[in-house]
Amino acid sequence: MSDISDVQQLGHLLKQDGADHSLLDTSSRVAQFTLAVMVKLVKERPWQVAEQLLDLLRQEGRALMQVDPTETAVGNVVRRVLKLVRDDYASMCCGRQVEGDNSESLQKLVSAKGDSVDDYSRPQPELRERLLESLDELERELALSRENIAAQALEHIHSGQVIMTTGRSRTVEAFLRRAAAQRTFQVMVAESAPSFSGLELARVLSRAGIRVTVVPDSAVLAIMPRVSKVIIGTHSVMADGGLKAPCGAHALALAARQCAVPLIVVAPAFKLTPQYLCSEDQEAFQRFGSPERVAPFETASSAVQLVAPAFDYVPPDLVPLLVLNSGGNAPSYVYRLLSEMYHPDDFKLGA
């Protein structure tokens, strides 16, 4: 049975900033909170074999995911933990080293499928201790993910360039600030109406000594020919390499392609999800905020239904490069990253 207090704390974490909270920052805190819940479960719950632990983790994971089905970071972290349980168990049970060769071919991936461990009912007394060590490594990875991405900034940003972004992404902010320590460049920030989160990013970057210009969302295409590079964050990276990004990202990506401007997406690895887009209004994809800032209640007509979607879907053909913790990858490589991070049996965790 899931811990009600954990579910309530997650609900509070997701709602504490209101309907239009910072989508890109909340995911990081939610991922760390979810991992803390998983660690507590591994430490405190009375499980004896890996099979029992996997069931407990799935049950708790489903309960947390139901708080907000659109917050993919919860399910992603649960899947990572399940993969660690499977890997550590296989290593102890069969004496295999599952993290060794990162240059496996497609043939190895197919042949390894028949060698997978299916029986998790064999007792392994040292599994708990070993798993806690693996979870500690994952905790450090989550904590340092933004810093590791920012460390790659000098590879992509050069002096004299004009960088365009949109919204308020803490990862993009860290990326730009790291580059500004050694490079001189200009940043153009789309205002991101109606939340105007772009104004928040502009203020932060300006205080850091970066030359910033705020532009209306409607002027993005007109200004794009002056831009050297577009750098954006995202809420999730879908299984096909597309993005579930804050509204405005799709228009920005289209403008970048029209003007042949390189686009870079910076995202921690925990934002990689095995989910696909079925429909842009599906429950697990779209989140709707209050339309009050678009059309105040006093002026809105009763015959008009207003919606304020939080996310855009950006197809993979508009995303040339993903910059993750470990480096840059093309969207076509996401399938391989997913196979390394998650077990196929856990893709449908919420089912």
Residue 18 pLDDT: 46
Sequential pLDDT tens for the chain (351 residues)? 455 577 767 766 666 544 444 444 578 889 999 999 999 999 988 888 899 999 999 999 999 998 888 889 999 999 999 999 999 998 887 765 554 445 555 555 554 454 456 777 787 878 899 999 999 999 999 999 999 999 999 999 999 999 999 999 999 999 999 999 999 999 999 999 888 999 999 999 999 999 999 999 999 999 999 999 999 999 999 999 999 999 999 999 999 999 999 999 999 999 999 999 876 556 678 888 778 777 777 776 777 788 888 899 999 999 999 999 989 999 999 999 999 999 999 998 755
Residue 348 pLDDT: 87
Dihedral angle sign, alpha carbons of residues 107, 111, 112, 113: positive
For the chain, domains (ranges, CATH) are 4-95+125-143 (1.20.120.420), 148-343 (3.40.50.10470)
> 187: burial class by Cβ within 10 Å (0-12, 13-18, 19+)?
buried
| Pairing between β-strand 263-266 and β-strand 321-324 as defined by DSSP bridges | parallel
Among the listed residues 270, 267, 229, the one whose alpha carbon sits nearest the alpha carbon of residue 77: 270
Residue 1 pLDDT: 47
Residue 223 pLDDT: 96
As a whole number of angstroms, the distance between CA 231 and CA 201 comes to 13
Residue 23 pLDDT: 45
As a whole number of angstroms, the distance between CA 180 and CA 159 comes to 9
